[in-house]
Amino acid sequence: MDNPVVEVEGLCYAYGDREALAGVTFTVSRGEIFGFLGPNGGGKTTLFKVLSTLRPPTVGRVRVFGHDLARAPDAVRMRLGVVFQDPSLDLKLTVMENLLHHGHLYGLWGQALQSRAREVLEGLGLGDRARDLVETLSGGLRRRTELAKVLVHRPELLIMDEPSTGLDPGARQEFSAYLRRLRQQDGVTILLTTHLIEEAEQCDRVGFLHEGRVVAIGEPDALKGTVGGDVIVIDAHNPKELQGKMRDRFGCDAVLVDGSLRVERPCGHEFVREVVEAFPGAVKSAAFGRPTLEDVFIRLAGRRLWSNEA
Amino acid sequence: MKHSESYVRFLLPVVTLWWREMVRFCRQRSRLVGAFGQPLLFWILLGGGFSASFRPPGLPEGTGYLEYFYPGIIALILLFTAIFATISIVEDRREGFLQAVLVAPVGRTSIVLGQALGGTTLALLQGMLFLLLAPAAGISLTVLSTLGAIGVMILVSFGLTNLGLMIAWRMDSTQGFHAIMNLILIPIWLLSGAFFPASGLPVWLQWVMKINPLTYGVAALRGCLYLGNPAAAGQVPPLLPSLVLTALFGLVAFVAAAGVARRSAA
């Protein structure tokens, strides 16, 4: 019965000759926390710009709350909360003044706006900071103020570009706990982009964005399930040579990523022992573990999320 | 809680953007020094320096260069304030503040009007402060001429701020803006009759001054300052047409700035 909040179909976007999005299709349901994971330059920021109504979609269809984004951006804007990667706060204004200014832009004013702003600040533990100038706040508090500001007009859909940039791990945990509470209490739908594995693991569903395409989409556990068994990473003195030897001996295709060999096998610990014993002296170090979302990405894209070559 | 009336939807953003400019200005004192102190210094140094050797042609006996230069310096104050206001728009964009405004359900025309009125108010306040120095220039103001001068200052600074906005909405760095400022905005001021009168100049320069919209702003300002004694204003375009042209310049600049903002990609 529930229509999806976000429906994207065949979205392409190019800057001149450079194609940033090459046919992106996905949907996000009401109350879902959806994360786009991908390397920098994979198209995340462009997708964010289109969804936040900063850039009109040219090719393909984007519907938010059933409205066509290209034709009726204002109908979408009222119900949308956008958290930018760059802080959008005015440093010379106080926390409260920033919130009031934001409310005015969304047509709120007077007593109703005042009490709503105070309510949001209390909810985020910023109640005693209302009169502080934003430039005097720490990075973590500014980030929280940023979120408070966006919540003033009660958005039904939050779109966030790398929201936990600049937060320490503790603050990041707190932030994602708050997002889940927001979803639970107010039924807010959340779409975020990230390059952090841990942040993506917290989402209900994850989409991988690579070279302007969605290469995989699904629940984190289901995605990790596509990797067979354990992931074994071997550093060798001569990786190319060992790759060939392993193929001959074990019939397995080890993938060379950033100078390391990666193999997916059940019972990783046994395989590590077998390799080390079969090729004495060839292995510098070996590790194995349960697959992470990054392993899924490497399997799909043949490169790490954070690669020196990128 | 949600007010859907269209006038609220148009005016609320205008007011809040204007108000923000006021608050920011009050918290950045250095801007006042920059926009007021520098022209004051120019007036005293250039005006004082030139008055010994240079007497503008076409002025009645007894009018020194310091007095001639005085309305020109008011125009310079308005120009500087407009430029500062415009630079702050470029910074807003770079720092991300403007992005948040652009994704709000607010029309670009509202945004530009708020920015323009903010810049105009700041320019006007500083222009009025400088108006207090009129007696020092040898100009005696009446209530009527003061009100007239204030009215002209509003029109001129609205036009100049919008001219600046038109440029700023296309820019993404303040460096680019400085180049434009030196190539376009300062020459507009230099060739407006603020610094020297048109009479006696080569014909092509006279023509440049004739098509320069600020020429009529400065002329209108002179006309208002010498409301009771038009002859003292020297050979400038007459007051009424100057006023009309200045108002028209403000309107055209605003429409153009709003147009640029609407077409500008975020």
Cβ–Cβ below 8 Å for B12 and A109: yes
Residues A167 and A233 in one domain: no
Query: How confident is the model at residue B4, as a pLDDT?
Result: 56
Residues A239 and A256 in one domain: yes
Q: pLDDT of A226-270, one tens digit each?
A: 887 888 899 998 999 899 888 888 888 888 888 889 888 888 888
Q: What is the CATH number of the domain that holds A51?
A: 3.40.50.300
Q: Cβ contacts (< 8 Å) between A97 and chain B: which residues?
A: 20, 23
Residue of A nearest to B16 (CA): A101
More confident residue, B36 or A68: A68
Question: Has residue B29 been placed in a domain?
Answer: yes
pLDDT tens for chain B, residues 1 to 266: 444 577 888 899 999 999 999 999 889 878 777 777 878 888 888 888 887 777 777 777 777 888 889 999 999 999 988 888 888 888 888 888 999 999 999 999 999 999 999 999 999 999 998 999 999 888 989 999 999 999 999 999 999 999 999 988 888 777 777 788 788 888 999 999 888 888 888 999 999 999 999 999 999 999 999 987 777 777 778 899 999 999 999 999 999 999 999 988 75
How many Å apart are CA B98 and CA B112, to the nearest integer?
Answer: 11
Residues A133 and A64 in one domain: yes
Residues A267 and A126 in one domain: no
Query: How confident is the model at residue B1, as a pLDDT?
Result: 44
Q: pLDDT of A124-168, one tens digit each?
A: 999 999 999 999 999 889 999 999 999 999 999 999 998 887 788
pLDDT tier, A1 (very low <50, low <70, confident <90, very high otherwise): very low
Contact yes or no for B103/A52 (Cβ under 8 A)? yes
How many Å apart are CA B220 and CA B207, to the nearest integer?
Answer: 18
Contact yes or no for B15/A113 (Cβ under 8 A)? no
Residues A192 and A235 in one domain: no
Q: How many domains does chain A have?
A: 2
Residues A41 and A125 in one domain: yes
Question: Has residue B199 been placed in a domain?
Answer: yes
Query: What is the CB neighbour count within 10 angstroms for residue A63?
Result: 20
Q: How many domains does chain B have?
A: 1
How many Å apart are CA B203 and CA B199, to the nearest integer?
Answer: 9
Residue A299: burial class (beta carbons within 10 Å; 0-12, 13-18, 19+): buried
Contact yes or no for A236/A261 (Cβ under 8 A)? yes
Measured in angstroms, the CA of B21 and the nearest CA of chain A are apart by 10
Query: How confident is the model at residue B214, as a pLDDT?
Result: 96
Q: What is the CATH number of the domain that holds A267?
A: 3.30.70
CA triple B188-B151-B224, angle to 5 deg: 80
Residues A257 and A143 in one domain: no
Q: Please list, residue by residue across B118-149, b when 16 or more beta carbons sit within 10 angstroms of its beta carbon and e when fewer do.
A: bbbbbbbbbbeebbeebeebebebeeebbebb
Statement: residue A296 has pLDDT above 90:
no
Residue B111: burial class (beta carbons within 10 Å; 0-12, 13-18, 19+): buried
Whether B8 and chain A come into contact, CB under 8 Å, resolves to yes
Question: Has residue A301 been placed in a domain?
Answer: no
Statement: residue A186 has pLDDT above 50:
yes
Please report which residue ranges of B96-189 form alpha helices under DSSP H.
97-102, 108-131, 134-137, 143-168, 174-180, 186-189
Question: Has residue B1 been placed in a domain?
Answer: no
Q: Which amino acid is at B5?
A: E
Query: How confident is the model at residue B235, as a pLDDT?
Result: 76
Residues A81 and A39 in one domain: yes
Question: Has residue A309 been placed in a domain?
Answer: no
More confident residue, A283 or B256: B256
Query: How confident is the model at residue A310, as a pLDDT?
Result: 37
Domain extent for A235? 228-290
- The domain boundary, picked from A207, A223, A239, lies at A223
Question: Has residue A305 been placed in a domain?
Answer: no
More confident residue, A285 or B150: B150
For strands A189-194 and A157-161, give the pairing.
parallel
Residues A80 and A54 in one domain: yes
Question: Has residue B107 been placed in a domain?
Answer: yes
Q: Which amino acid is at B238?
A: P
Measured in angstroms, the CA of B38 and the nearest CA of chain A are apart by 24
Question: Has residue A297 been placed in a domain?
Answer: no
Residues A134 and A150 in one domain: yes
Domain extent for B184? 6-263
Residue corresponding to tokens 């019939």: A251
Residues A125 and A232 in one domain: no
Residue of A nearest to B24 (CA): A92
Whether A40 and chain B come into contact, CB under 8 Å, resolves to no
Cβ–Cβ below 8 Å for B100 and A55: no
- Start-to-end CA span in chain A (Å): 43
Residues A63 and A162 in one domain: yes
Question: Has residue A132 been placed in a domain?
Answer: yes
Percent of all residues in chain A with a pLDDT value above 90, rounded to a whole number:
51
Whether B105 and chain A come into contact, CB under 8 Å, resolves to yes
Average pLDDT, chain A: 90
Cβ–Cβ below 8 Å for A88 and B97: yes
Statement: residue A309 has pLDDT above 70:
no
Question: Has residue A296 been placed in a domain?
Answer: no
Whether A123 and chain B come into contact, CB under 8 Å, resolves to no
Measured in angstroms, the CA of B125 and the nearest CA of chain A are apart by 20
Measured in angstroms, the CA of B6 and the nearest CA of chain A are apart by 10
Q: pLDDT of A106-132, one tens digit each?
A: 999 999 999 999 999 998 999 999 999
Read off the DSSP letter of residue A63. Answer: E
Contact yes or no for A202/A208 (Cβ under 8 A)? no
